[in-house]
């Protein structure tokens, strides 16, 4: 086990609703990244937080937002859900700070399976 937990395990929402997914990183891990994994695809980078500040973002619209808290927990919020948002959402924590040349291992949680109807 990686020590990274996510909740809930599964979630069903309808189009247009809002959702909050939660992640608890390993203690001491200052960096958390969120990924979206569609069925049969590799994970796609949504954004990364380092010490409670957003540190990088992938090609996702602003309705995807996040928060990171001092207690090593974090949230992914998605507004105005669309059918294509149905996916496995993964968070990954790493020990050090981000930056060029960083090869800190990212430890993934088991994910939250979101279904949008």
Partner 1 sequence: QQQVKQSPQSLIVQKGGISIINCAYENTAFDYFPWYQQFPGKGPALLIAIRPDVSEKKEGRFTISFNKSAKQFSLHIMDSQPGDSATYFCAAKGNRDDKIIFGKGTRLHILP
Binding span for partner 1 by CB under 8 A among 11-19, 68-76, 78-86, 97-105: 97-105
Is 84 a residue that touches partner 1 (CB under 8 A)?
A: no
In angstroms, the CA 57 to CA 47 distance is 4
Residues 6-65 that bind partner 1 (CB under 8 A): 31, 33, 40-45, 48, 55-56, 58
Number of CB atoms found within 10 A of residue 10's CB: 10
Nearer to partner 1, 23 or 81 (CB): 23
| Cβ-contact 54, 66 below 8 angstroms | yes
């Amino acid at each position: 086990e990686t020590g990274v937990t996510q909740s809930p395990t599964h979630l069903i929402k309808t189009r247009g609703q809002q959702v909050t997914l939660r992640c608890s990183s390993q203690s001491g891990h200052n960096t958390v990244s969120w990924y979206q994994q569609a069925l049969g695809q590799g994970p796609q980078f949504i954004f990364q937080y380092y010490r409670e500040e957003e540190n990088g973002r992938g090609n996702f619209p602003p309705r995807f937002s996040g928060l990171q808290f001092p207690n090593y927990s974090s949230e992914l919020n998605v507004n105005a859900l669309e059918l294509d948002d149905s996916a496995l959402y993964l968070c990954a924590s790493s020990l050090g700070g981000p930056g060029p040349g960083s090869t800190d291992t990212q430890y993934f949680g088991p994910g939250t399976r979101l279904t949008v109807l």
